[in-house]
Amino acid sequence: MFANASVPNTTASFSTNGTYVLRWTANDSALSSNATVTVTVNGQLPPLRIDTIQFPNGISQGVHLGFVAVAGATYAIEYRNSLSTGSWLTLSNVPAQPITQTIEVMDFGTTNSSARFYRLRTP
Specify the CATH architecture of the domain 52-121: Sandwich (2.60)
Q: What share of the chain is helix, strand, coil (3-state, %, to 5)?
A: 5, 45, 50
Q: Is the pLDDT of residue 1 over 70?
A: no
Q: Tens digit of pLDDT for each residue in 43-99? A: 777 789 999 999 877 666 789 999 999 888 999 999 999 999 999 999 999 999 999
For the entire predicted model, the pTM comes to 0.63
Q: Position 14: which residue type?
A: F
The domain ranges of the chain are 1-43, 52-121
Task: Specify whether the CB–CB gap between 13 and 1 falls below 8 A.
Answer: yes
| Phi/psi of residue 109, nearest 5 degrees | -90, 0
More confident residue, 66 or 20: 66
- pLDDT of res. 111: 67
Q: Residue 77 is which amino acid?
A: I
